[in-house]
């Protein structure tokens, strides 16, 4: 039994590696293609909104269905929809250039399917792995995503340059089919849904929201994560601008920063999977945020000739990221019953996604007026404060429990 869950995860993860990698390739290739063919920031903005808004808007509601449905089948259907959308768009590009509205529609469909796939996969993990192994499994998951973030763009541009965008999209079809094949080979226990007690969608939605609010620690971390998303998510678009405008370097240097950040994430995920049981989840999360904050702050004050230092800081920033994401997800998985976990994960995901546009809206005018480094600097200050708050919050909680136990 001890080895069985590891075999199950080996099969699932081997399939997910192909699916996540090819999806990363598609994401990069589409943005690259739209940039090359239109050169329009408005086009890229609409494509970005099409790619994440369905997940943000549908997230709180689809959790109700996820807790009713078979999670393995939900993942397979979602992957199949993503494969179908890639197939349709791939055929369009092999025959010619589709209209932008076709591209937007396909991105909307892919995002909608992803809104079901991601939380159903996370909600399935506690049904397979022992509770004491959830943080380690979260480290594996972060490792897969981090590796894809490094390899995906590199492979995408190689295939795109040698063939076409259509070929990249067809590879995504293959990746989804491999993921589904691996899921067919495993058995995932399905928790009994609470249909008798809560027969209506509205009641289940409210039940999921109340379940989320019942764990004060998770709510506190989620609010902190939302603030973190506001200041940190814009950095994804500001990294290239920092490289070009502050350091005066070109596309090669910008791609180097992306690669170094991704490599840091890989090593951070590997470190988490090895040292998962050494510290408490809250310790990893607070340490992660303090390190990320310090690297952002230093990036905001370094001179224009110190590009190598920026490379080093980007590496440590990437390495620290999984130390928050993995333990945060493991904490959620440990805190809720499996039959409610899908709804809770949907709420959490949507809160993070809905926070990001706020940061993007704020970052644009601030950076245009004061320069890119000002956002790095103050983002670093805010993130350090969040990390410190999380540490102090859990110290206070532990002291309260000790005090109650001595009475």
Q: Could you give all domains of the chain from N- to C-terminal order, each with its CATH number?
A: 1-184 (1.20.1250.20), 201-407 (1.20.1250.20)
With a cut of 70, say whether residue 360 has pLDDT above it: no
Per-residue pLDDT tens digits for 283-309? 888 889 999 999 999 999 999 899 999
The whole-number pLDDT of residue 407 equals 47
Q: How many helices (H) and strands (E) does the chain have?
A: 15, 0
Check if the beta carbon of residue 328 is closer than 8 Å to that of residue 272: no
Check if the beta carbon of residue 311 is closer than 8 Å to that of residue 163: no
Residue ranges of alpha helices (H) inside 96-164 are: 100-124, 134-162
Q: Which of 358, 155, 168 is nearest to 262 (CA)?
A: 155
Per-residue pLDDT tens digits for 136-187? 776 677 667 767 777 777 777 778 778 888 888 999 899 888 888 888 887 7
| Residue 370 φ/ψ, nearest 5 degrees | -110, -10
Stronger pLDDT, 167 or 196, i.e. the higher one: 167
Task: State the Cα–Cα distance between residues 387 and 312, nearest whole angstrom.
Answer: 21
In the structure encoding, which two tokens stand for residue 132, read together? Answer: 């004491």
Per-residue pLDDT tens digits for 59-88? 667 766 666 677 778 888 888 898 899 999
> What's the chain's average pLDDT?
78
């Amino acid at each position: 039994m001890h080895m069985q869950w590891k075999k199950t995860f080996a099969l699932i993860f081997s399939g997910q590696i192909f699916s996540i990698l090819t999806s990363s390739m598609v994401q990069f290739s589409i943005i690259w293609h739209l940039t090359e063919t239109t050169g329009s920031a408005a086009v890229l903005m609409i494509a970005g909104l099409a790619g994440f808004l369905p997940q943000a808007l549908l997230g709180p509601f689809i959790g109700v269905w996820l807790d009713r449905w078979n999670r393995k089948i939900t993942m397979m259907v979602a992957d199949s929809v993503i494969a179908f959308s890639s197939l349709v768009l791939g055929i369009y590009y092999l025959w010619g250039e589709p209209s932008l509205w076709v591209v937007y529609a396909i991105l909307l469909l892919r995002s909608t399917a992803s809104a079901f796939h991601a939380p159903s996969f996370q909600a399935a993990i506690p049904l397979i792995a022992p509770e004491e192994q959830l943080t380690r499994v979260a480290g594996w998951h972060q490792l897969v995503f981090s590796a894809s973030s490094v390899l995906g763009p590199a492979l995408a541009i190689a295939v795109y340059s040698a063939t076409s965008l259509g070929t990249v999209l067809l590879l995504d079809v293959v990746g989804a089919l491999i993921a589904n094949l691996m899921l067919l080979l495993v058995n995932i226990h399905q928790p009994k849904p609470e249909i008798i007690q809560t027969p209506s969608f509205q009641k289940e939605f409210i039940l999921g929201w109340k379940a989320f609010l019942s764990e004060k620690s998770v709510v506190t971390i989620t609010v902190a994560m939302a603030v973190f998303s506001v200041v940190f998510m814009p950095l994804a678009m500001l990294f290239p601008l920092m490289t070009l405008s502050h350091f005066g370097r070109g596309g090669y240097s910008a791609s180097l920063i992306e690669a170094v950040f991704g490599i840091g994430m890989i090593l951070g995920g590997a470190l988490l999977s090895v040292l998962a049981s050494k510290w408490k989840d809250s310790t990893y999360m607070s340490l992660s945020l303090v390190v990320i904050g310090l690297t952002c702050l230093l990036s905001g004050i370094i001179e224009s000739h110190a590009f190598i230092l920026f490379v080093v800081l980007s590496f440590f920033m990437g390495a620290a990221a999984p130390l928050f994401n993995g333990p945060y997800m493991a904490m959620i998985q440990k805190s809720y019953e499996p039959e409610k976990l899908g709804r809770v994960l949907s709420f959490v995901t949507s809160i993070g996604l809905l926070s990001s546009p706020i940061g993007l809206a704020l970052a644009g005018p601030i950076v245009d007026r004061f320069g890119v480094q000002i956002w790095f600097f103050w983002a670093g200050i805010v993130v350090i404060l969040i990390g410190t708050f999380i540490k102090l919050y859990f110290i206070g909680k532990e002291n309260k429990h000790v005090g109650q136990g001595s009475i």
